[in-house]
Amino acid sequence: MTPPTDKQLTTALVTTMTDAFNRSIQALEDSGAIDASRMRSAYAGIGSKYYDIVTEQIERTAQSGAASIRELFQDSSS
């Protein structure tokens, strides 16, 4: 089996982390821990203030995570 590329790993991580972020925000709001109404007003997809901030941080984290996962593939093939 060919190990996934860094781009494939990053894409998978971005998808997973985006889902985790959205689920966490919703769970916190549902539990009454936060009021996300202000965030939601500027979190309306690509180009919106908070969406772009969150996406940038998720992408940066995914890129560093991909490097860590790559190391696992290299260690297991040795």
List Cα–Cα distances, 26 to 8, 22, 43, 78, in angstroms.
Answer: 27, 6, 13, 42
Q: pTM score, two decimals?
A: 0.81
For residue range 6-31, list pLDDT tens digits in order: 999 999 999 999 999 999 999 999 99
**Dihedral sign, Cα of residue 7, residue 9, residue 12, residue 13:** negative
Q: How far is CA 39 from the centre of its chain?
A: 17
- The structural domains of the chain, with segments of one domain joined by +, span 6-17+35-77
For residue range 35-66, list pLDDT tens digits in order: 999 888 888 888 888 899 999 999 999 999 99
CB 15 within 8 A of CB 71: no
Q: How far is CA 16 from the centre of its chain?
A: 6
